[in-house]
Amino acid sequence: MEKRELERIGGEAEFLVLAKEGIVENAYFISTAPVRGFERLLKGKSPIFALQAVMRICGICFSAHGIASVEAIEEAIGILPPPNGRNAREALGLLNRIQSHILHLMLLTPDLVEDDGRIMYREIELLNKISNLLQKLGGAPTHPPFLAIGGVERLPEEGELGRMVENLRELKEEFLSIRKDLLNCADGSDALATLREKEYAPSFLATHLFYGDRYNLDMGVVETLHYHEFRGEDAPEEAKTSTSMVALYRGRPVEVGPRARLSLYRDFSDGSLWGLQAARMEEVPMAVDRVIRLIEEIDPREPCKTERLVFKRGRGIGVYEAPRGTLIHKVALGPEGRITDYQIIVPTEFNIPHMEAACRGLPAGMADLVPRIYDPCIPCATHVVEVGKSV
Amino acid sequence: MSDLLIYDVGGCEGCPLSILRVLPQLEERVHVSSKALGNLSLSRDYDYAVITGSACINEERVTSIIRRIREKAKVLIAYGSCASVGGITLFCRGGQRPRPEHRTFLPISSVVEVDYAIPGCPPNPTLLVNLLDSLEGEGGSRSKYFLSLFSRVAKEKKLSGFDLMDEIVLSGLCIGCGACVLSCPAHALHMVEGKPDLMPEKCIRCGTCCVRCPRFTQLLLRRPALSRGVV
């Protein structure tokens, strides 16, 4: 058995690989990041604090946590944002999705090409461009402060919105050119060949192509369990130390994320492991086009946030398609609108079983590729409580 | 060329990832090792080490990594609010599965001696470039101020909007410049009657306002002398 500290992923995790004659027989994905415990941290707090806090669960998919949280809180207090607020919020989420996909591409690039920094520096330039757009629409490149319960705090001016559309068009062209050059350079690499040859296509779960829809998901059949419970008795001792949990849907593992979204809501079909990355790279131009449409629908003269916020007793669920897949926030508010219970289920929890299963049969030297192609997010994955108890 | 290590000890990853945005500028100055670049090693020495994320003092793995990095680094920089002043993780109270014992998260300076601490959620990554320039003696006239401020911050165990209110606004030192309001990453401060006021339910204890306030920074710099009774 070989223990590897995973590099070039979001967060701290170890991958235990059991190989026989150089072929992987079994693998264990063990996250080692400490549990900051945001659900516990939120008890007794105001929903306004909850939004600021949950965005800091993750520095990669902050908007996703923010949006899932405000959706849940809005349901609990019975409000809806005005159209401007909804459009700006969806655009904010998608800019974050593009940013996350570009970041992941940077982490994956060294697997695909012998890079002298040329492609990576172009990717960094793209990362800076998308981060500037997030700054304009969300108020910051990370943890956007404009996101608010009831909509968004403010909108850019009309001229600024027009410039954003121009920047987005340039960004899309540059992304497509990087994708083309990367794939040309990667042609013939062992990693690409391995990923293309390995067939792995489990059942999918996704609720929406661009945003998230809680009515496309049956909360009653989402179940989470301790990692070592999921792996059973014969798992090595290290499994007990894992700081993440595993989520199942109808008692089975399901894949969430870009490939699930495109397979369920578009005519995308790629059953190889490379299909995960192909879908991710397909989502970037699609998201750019969608954000342009959303920005064009924003009317800066109309309100972007509902004025009537009354915090009171209630329950709500927010479901959002984060960069890595379906993200669920559940909230219960007490009599003064303070949080009495908060639960978060994140996409990486759904995908952990696949990172392990898809490894089987691969050469041991290639095993690290599988978690990386699934793009796990450990800061998120350590924030799941057991579901099934009251909320 | 000097060697720089970037290591996250269990934060949200927002800090190390925002540093990637200035990688080309960093690589002109230092050789960078990090998990994101896939060239991480804790078994060699570094001129500079950047730690992001706060220290979960209930997890031996985390505290031993922090100690190890301190041993290997000539200069240790706590980067971001969690690492420098605890930030949002000061609110953690443990009790959550699968590891309910992960209860207390503190600034890196609670475990080892930190040379410089840069609060921010996340800080603007060019700050790191500027700090390195200052350390290499190429930061220009602001270098001395820059280095003395961030080394003073490394001695603080907490900095937040609450401290700004107590030490500056409510004690009458505030000049009403509004720098704190502009700097707050959670938009927790607003101007009321010409002076900043804190919306406490929005403050994430990141400390950005304190290092941006012209009065608070002076207070930080002069506090050691003041406590000795020298003014």
Mean pLDDT by 10 residues, chain B (231 residues): 94 93 96 91 95 96 96 98 97 89 95 98 95 88 90 95 97 97 97 97 97 96 83 55
Q: Which amino acid is at A326?
A: T
pLDDT of residue A148 exceeding 50: yes
pLDDT (tens digit per residue) in A33-91? 888 999 999 999 999 999 999 999 999 999 999 999 999 999 999 999 999 999 999 99
Compute φ and ψ for A317, nearest 5 degrees: -125, 135
Q: In this structure, how many other beta carbons lie within 10 angstroms of the beta carbon of residue A5?
A: 12
| CA–CA dist B83, B105 (Å, integer) | 10
**Owner of token pair 């609110």:** B91
DSSP character for B141?
G
User: Cβ A141–B18 below 8 Å, yes or no?
Assistant: yes
Name every residue whose Cβ is closer than 8 Å to that of residue B131 and which is 6 or more positions away in sequence.
B77, B116, B118, B139, B146, B147, B150
User: Cβ B21–A226 below 8 Å, yes or no?
Assistant: no
Strand locations in B81-126 (E): 105-106, 116-118
Taking domain A2-381, whether its CATH number is 1.10.645.10 is answered by yes
pLDDT of residue A115 exceeding 80: no
| CA–CA dist A374, B114 (Å, integer) | 36
| CA–CA dist A43, A339 (Å, integer) | 5
User: Cβ A37–B89 below 8 Å, yes or no?
Assistant: no
Give residue limits of the domains in chain B: 2-153, 161-227
| Cβ contact A325:A206 at 8 Å | yes
Report pLDDT for A383: 56
Residue among A7, A52, A103 minimizing CB distance to B204: A52
Mean pLDDT of chain B: 94
User: What CATH code is assigned to B2-153?
Assistant: 3.40.50.700
Name every residue whose Cβ is closer than 8 Å to that of residue A80 and which is 6 or more positions away in sequence.
A74, A86, A306
Q: Which amino acid is at B191?
A: M
pLDDT (tens digit per residue) in A209-266? 999 999 999 999 999 998 989 998 788 888 888 888 899 999 999 999 999 999 999 9
Q: A388 falls in which pLDDT band (50, 70, 90)?
A: very low
Residues 2-41 in B contacting A (C-alpha not used; CB under 8 Å): 8, 10-18, 20-21, 23-24, 27, 35-38, 40
User: Cβ B187–A60 below 8 Å, yes or no?
Assistant: no
pLDDT (tens digit per residue) in A285-325? 999 999 999 999 999 999 999 988 999 999 999 999 999 99
CA B14 → CA A56, A219, A259, B144, B227, distances in Å?
8, 30, 25, 28, 36
Q: A34 — contact with chain B (CB < 8 Å)?
A: yes
Across the beta sheet with A2-5, what order do the strands follow?
A2-5, A13-20, A23-31
Report pLDDT for A240: 85
Strand locations in chain B (E): 2-8, 30-34, 46-52, 55-56, 73-79, 105-106, 116-118, 189-192, 195-198
Q: B44 — contact with chain A (CB < 8 Å)?
A: no
Q: A60 — contact with chain B (CB < 8 Å)?
A: yes
Residue among A45, A58, A146 minimizing CB distance to B12: A58
Mutation pick from A5, A15, A30, A49 vs chain B, by most beta carbons of B within 10 Å, is A49
Q: A225 — contact with chain B (CB < 8 Å)?
A: no
User: What CATH code is assigned to B161-227?
Assistant: 3.30.70.20
State both tokens at B48. Answer: 């500079």
Q: Is the dihedral of CA B6, B11, B14, B15 positive or negative?
A: negative
pLDDT (tens digit per residue) in A96-107? 999 999 999 999
**Closest CA–CA distance from residue A42 to any residue of chain B (Å):** 9
For β-strands B189-192 and B195-198, DSSP reports them as antiparallel
Query: Minimal Cα distance from B203: which residue of A?
Result: A49
Cα A247 from chain centre: 15
Q: Which amino acid is at A72?
A: A
Mutation pick from A35, A49, A65, A127 vs chain B, by most beta carbons of B within 10 Å, is A35
User: Cβ A34–B27 below 8 Å, yes or no?
Assistant: no
* H helix or E strand, kind and range, residue A175: helix A158-186
Q: B62 — contact with chain A (CB < 8 Å)?
A: yes
pLDDT of residue A387 exceeding 70: no
Mean pLDDT of chain A: 93
More confident residue, A69 or A187: A69
Q: Which amino acid is at A332?
A: A
Query: Minimal Cα distance from A33: which residue of B?
Result: B10
Residues 116-155 in B contacting A (C-alpha not used; CB under 8 Å): 121-122
Helix axes A158-186 and A274-297, enclosed angle (nearest 10): 160
Which residues are bridge partners to A252 per DSSP?
A249
Residue among A41, A60, A103 minimizing CB distance to B91: A41
| CA–CA dist B20, B14 (Å, integer) | 10
Q: Can you give the length of chain B in residues?
A: 231
pLDDT of residue A390 exceeding 90: no
Mutation pick from A14, A45, A56 vs chain B, by most beta carbons of B within 10 Å, is A56
DSSP structure string for A238-302: GGGG---EEEEETTB--B-SHHHHHHHHSS----BTHHHHHHHHHHHHHHHHHHHHHHHH--TTS
User: Cβ B202–A52 below 8 Å, yes or no?
Assistant: yes
ipTM: 0.94
| CA–CA dist A297, A214 (Å, integer) | 24
More confident residue, A118 or A250: A250
Give residue limits of the domains in chain A: 2-381
**Owner of token pair 């009599």:** A335
